[in-house]
């Protein structure tokens, strides 16, 4: 009987340039996060190439020496051949430009690092220009992904609902369009109906097709978002809580604890892309809805922020935000800042919020005391602890109740629909009198006004 074997994972080497003003801790944290992104994609990270520079190289990001070091991981020559791909000249003279990286094409590939297997993918912790991406690929003979490309690929693999898939495809095509390359000779032809226009190259034709496709996707997405807005309008009277925060902060785990719903949980970045809305459980009066949202991340591509605006609308339209943070992460303060910046960008600056320092079970007792001093209003919890989840639930209910109004309502016996609505909110007491049911209720002013409008 033959044993099944897993397909080998693509081997990747990470590249990062440390610019002035970036301290070592920030640099290592960013590389660690990039490594986790790669692992989410299924890559095996086998090495890192880092360099301190005053600025990013315009042609190859890193200097010539580091480019050859990088090529040692992949089996490339570490140089950018002169001329277009496939037509490089081996006898061109080298230009003395550290940022260029172009050299004669006759050099041999540098030896691989001792004992290490060749990498087939290079992942760079910066956003590359089309020129930089093309030059690094030619110098290393490997597939090259920048940070934006990695995030978009993860989103592409994890999106499950139709709106999320449309949003990701729009972002992916927007990213791909300027990075298309001419595969032929770049000839221009005059075409007939439905073919190339006058003087339009194959590359221009491809880009036009992408623009048309993006337009179609946006039209389809607008129709779906219209339906989503209708559903959100129907939930308008309900009290709504949105869980927001950095990716992998534990939002989905807390969501499961608060609602009892089988929300997908995984120790991966961007495990959740689609908005999930469930009622707080045990159910409260009035009913409170809880929504889980896509996680934020440093250097989140602006196209993805724009594409997922409908997902983040749950945060914008929420009555309360729970900002969930992984308190065990040494750089959670920077992650907290990223979350606030994205919330400001979508216009959710003024939505009331509660800070939840999650994964506190992984934090030493002395550090917990320091966190309480630094964040006195925060909730220190572990989403895995039922008691902690109960504290979060009580805090949510208490926050809403603090803004509720306590009034008396007299509902005639023939106003059955109004009686039904009353029992959806918090009824303190009720008595049956000659003129109808006398209720003492505690509810948001908007809910009380709606019930009053139903009375004769």
Question: What is the count of structural domains for the chain?
Answer: 4
CB 358 within 8 A of CB 250: yes
The two three-digit tokens of residue 51, written as one number:
């360099």
In this prediction, residue 264 carries a pLDDT of: 52
Helices (H) and strands (E) in the chain, counts: 14, 15
CB 232 within 8 A of CB 218: no
In this prediction, residue 99 carries a pLDDT of: 46
Residue 1 within a domain: no
In this prediction, residue 112 carries a pLDDT of: 55
Exposure of 432 by Cβ count < 10 A (0-12 exposed, 13-18 middle, 19+ buried)? exposed
In this prediction, residue 188 carries a pLDDT of: 40
The two three-digit tokens of residue 14, written as one number:
């990470």
User: Are 291 and 347 in a shared domain?
Assistant: yes
Last-in-domain residue among 153, 173, 191: 153
pLDDT tens string, the chain, 456 residues long: the values are 445 556 788 999 999 999 998 888 888 988 988 998 898 888 999 999 999 999 999 999 999 999 999 999 998 888 888 766 655 553 333 333 444 444 444 445 455 565 556 899 999 999 899 899 999 999 999 999 999 889 888 888 877 778 778 888 888 898 888 887 644 444 444 444 444 454 557 888 888 899 999 999 989 988 887 666 665 555 555 788 999 888 888 888 999 999 987 755 555 555 555 567 888 988 887 789 998 877 777 776 666 666 556 566 667 778 899 999 999 988 899 889 888 887 887 777 788 899 999 999 999 999 999 999 999 999 999 999 999 999 999 999 999 888 888 899 999 988 888 888 888 888 889 999 989 999 998 888 878 888 888 887
Instruction: Give the pTM.
Output: 0.71
User: Are 68 and 172 in a shared domain?
Assistant: no
Q: What does the DSSP 8-state code read for residue 89?
A: B
The two three-digit tokens of residue 49, written as one number:
């190439």
User: Are 87 and 145 in a shared domain?
Assistant: yes
User: Are 389 and 267 in a shared domain?
Assistant: yes
CA distance 453 to 137: 67
CA 243 to mean position of chain CA atoms: 13
User: Are 367 and 436 in a shared domain?
Assistant: no
In this prediction, residue 377 carries a pLDDT of: 94
CA distance 146 to 122: 8
In this prediction, residue 408 carries a pLDDT of: 92
Residue 188 within a domain: no
Residue 193 within a domain: no
Residue 3 within a domain: no
Domain span at residue 429 reads 405-454
Give the largest Cα separation in the chain, rounded.
Answer: 104
Q: Which helix (H) or strand (E) holds 370?
A: helix 365-374
Give 132-169 pLDDT, tens digit per residue: 999 999 999 999 999 988 988 888 887 777 877 888 88
User: Are 250 and 289 in a shared domain?
Assistant: yes
Q: What does the DSSP 8-state code read for residue 256?
A: H
User: Are 349 and 439 in a shared domain?
Assistant: no
User: Are 273 and 396 in a shared domain?
Assistant: yes
Beta strand pairing status for 405-411 and 379-380? unpaired
Residue 91 within a domain: yes
Q: How far is CA 140 from CA 30, 51, 77, 274, 366, in A?
A: 23, 17, 6, 37, 48
């Amino acid at each position: 009987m033959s044993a099944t074997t897993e397909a080998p994972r693509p081997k990747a080497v990470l590249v990062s340039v440390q610019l002035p003003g970036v301290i070592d801790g920030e640099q290592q944290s960013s590389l660690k996060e990039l490594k986790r992104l790669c692992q989410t994609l299924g890559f095996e990270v086998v090495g890192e190439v880092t360099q301190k520079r005053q600025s990013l190289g315009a042609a190859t990001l890193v200097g010539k020496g580091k480019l050859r070091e990088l090529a040692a991981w992949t089996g490339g020559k570490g140089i950018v051949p002169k001329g277009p791909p496939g037509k490089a000249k081996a006898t061109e003279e080298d230009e003395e430009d550290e940022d260029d990286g172009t050299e004669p094409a006759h050099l041999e590939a540098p030896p691989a690092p001792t004992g290490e297997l060749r990498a087939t993918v290079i992942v760079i912790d910066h956003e590359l220009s089309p020129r930089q991406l093309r030059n690094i690929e030619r110098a290393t003979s490997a597939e090259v992904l920048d940070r934006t490309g990695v995030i978009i690929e993860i989103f592409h693999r994890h999106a499950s609902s139709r709106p999320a898939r449309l949003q990701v495809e729009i972002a992916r095509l927007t990213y791909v369009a300027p990075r298309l390359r001419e595969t032929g000779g770049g000839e221009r032809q005059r075409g007939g109906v439905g073919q190339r226009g006058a003087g339009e190259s194959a590359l221009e034709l491809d880009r036009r097709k992408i623009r048309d496709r993006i337009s179609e996707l946006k039209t389809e997405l607008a129709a779906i978002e219209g339906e989503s807005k209708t559903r959100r309008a129907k939930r308008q009277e309900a009290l709504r809580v949105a869980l927001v925060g950095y990716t992998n902060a534990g939002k989905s785990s807390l969501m499961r604890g608060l609602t009892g719903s089988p929300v997908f949980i995984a120790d991966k970045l961007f495990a959740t892309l689609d908005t999930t809305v469930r009622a707080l459980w045990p159910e409260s009066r009035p009913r409170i809805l809880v929504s889980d949202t896509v996680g934020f991340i440093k250097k989140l591509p602006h196209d993805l922020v724009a594409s997922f605006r409908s997902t983040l609308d749950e945060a914008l339209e929420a009555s309360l935000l729970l900002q969930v943070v992984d308190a065990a992460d040494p750089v959670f303060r920077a992650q907290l800042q990223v979350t606030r910046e994205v919330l400001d960008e979508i216009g959710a600056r003024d939505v009331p919020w509660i800070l939840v320092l999650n994964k506190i079970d992984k934090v030493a007792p002395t550090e917990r005391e320091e966190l309480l001093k630094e964040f006195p209003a925060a909730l220190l919890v572990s989403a895995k602890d039922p008691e902690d989840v109960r504290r979060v639930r009580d805090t949510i209910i208490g926050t809403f109740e603090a803004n509720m109004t306590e009034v008396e309502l007299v509902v005639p016996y023939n106003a059955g629909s109004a009686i039904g609505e009353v029992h959806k909110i918090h009824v303190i007491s009720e008595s049956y009198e000659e003129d109808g049911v006398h209720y003492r209720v505690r509810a948001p002013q908007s809910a009380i006004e709606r019930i009053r409008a139903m009375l004769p």
